[in-house]
A = this chain, B = another copy of it.
Amino acid sequence: MADENTVFIGKKNVMSYVLAVVTQFNSGAKEVVIKARGKVISRAVDVAEIVRNRFVNDAKISNVKITTEELTSEDGSKGNVSAIEISLTRP
């Protein structure tokens, strides 16, 4: 899985990320992985669903992985954050 087929979800609006995923499929990608952590996990799910339902109708959700990542903040304290990886695949 090359990194150019991964879309990281941040604080931009949902359609920016939808466009990023659709562009990768239109460039010939067979799989695009949408990654997010923390509060923007729900946005990652929105992106996957909008791509699949409105733009790339033959794309399927082939895998959803949820994990915990350890973060170290600037003051050195550690915390955990949940993360999600949604794989969209087209035939």
Contacts and interface: CB of A to CB of B under 8 A. Distances in A.
Interface of A: 38-42, 45-46, 48-49, 53, 61, 64-68, 80, 82-84, 86
Contact of A38 (B42, B53, B82): B42
Contacts of A67: 49
A36 B46 CA distance: 13
Contacts of A49: 66-68, 80, 82
A4 B64 CA distance: 25
Given A42-B40, A42-B82, A53 B66 contact: no
Contact of A66 (B40, B48, B68, B80): B48
Nearest to A46: B82
A40 to B, nearest CB: 7
A75 B68 CA distance: 40
A83 B42 CA distance: 9
